[in-house]
Amino acid sequence: MMVNIIKSDIFRIKKGAAVRNVFLAGMIIIVITGVNMLGSSSGLGGVGVQSTASAARSLPGNGAEFVQQMRDDGLFPFFILAFAVAVLGAEYSTGTIRNSLSYFVDRKSVFFAKCITGFLCCLTYTLLCLIVSFVAGTILFGFGGFNLTLIARILAQIILSTPLYMGMIAIGNGLLVFTKKTSITITTYLIGLIVFPSIIYQIYQLIPAEWLTLCDPLSAFSMLSRFWEFPLMNVGMVLLFWVILDVFLLFIGARLYADADIA
């Protein structure tokens, strides 16, 4: 049943423009960033949210370096909300949520299926951006630097990012189920991204562990883009933090969806 729900959501997404526009926006940003960096002859000229890694960018010496620098996408946590809104938010906007809640199927399975669909959107976005980064980097900075180490690191980074992808989707879906309003969800989500680091910092004051400062979404994505440069302990603890958070968020979100009112 979950497979059928996922297929149905993917079919609906293909017919709509929301997710396609997010994909296009991400790819255009990569191209603009590359052109600006080449024109400025420096690592400046990027578009998006500046993170620790993006702030340290330098002019790529070849296509591989450009691909690696583009792995640190500061806008990705914001784009993930668009995937949640496209999968679940559209049902609240159009009123078709009544049909979904009226199905004689386990509502929790429906919620999990929609989270998986959002996760697949994240993977698709990541792969498309990799392809665009490779093409743009090769054209702008030349073909060079590509080796098995780089490929292995990129694949590892995608796998390690799985808890973050699922966690952010679960947050978006949970907010949609709780608020039932796309506009309120977007506002709450954006405020949360800003407030999250402050909450983590307060926890850090009580538990002075360095890895805690890397647990907020922007810092976590930035760290994973260059995970090999960080202590293994820090990477492992951040991932454990997000795995535990995922379990909590999915449980709460599924309960909210299961108890949601059809009216």
Identify which of 144, 140, 142, 136 has the alpha carbon closest to the alpha carbon of residue 31.
136
The number of C-alpha atoms within 13 Å of 112 and in the hemisphere containing its C-beta is 12
Residue 112 lies in a domain: yes
Q: How far is 144 from 233, CA to CA, in rounded Å?
A: 32
44-48, 80-84, 159-163: which has the minimum mean pLDDT? 44-48
Residue 219 lies in a domain: yes
Q: Which of 48-52, 108-112, 136-140 has the highest mean predicted lDDT (pLDDT)? A: 136-140
Q: Residue 15: pLDDT above 70?
A: yes
Residue 165 lies in a domain: yes
What does the pLDDT read at residue 162? 92
Please say whether the beta carbons of 258 and 108 come within 8 A: yes
- Which two tokens mark 112? 């999990």
Residue 217 lies in a domain: yes
CA dist list (Å): 224 to 20, 60, 70, 156, 159: 25, 20, 12, 9, 10
* Total domain count, the chain: 1
- pLDDT digit string (tens) for 151-201? 899 899 989 999 999 998 888 888 888 887 777 888 888 888 888 888 888
DSSP 213: G
- pLDDT digit string (tens) for 191-250? 888 888 888 888 888 888 888 888 888 888 888 888 998 999 999 999 999 999 999 999
DSSP 74: T
Place of tokens 């691909």: 67
Residue 263 lies in a domain: no
Domain that holds residue 182: 2-258
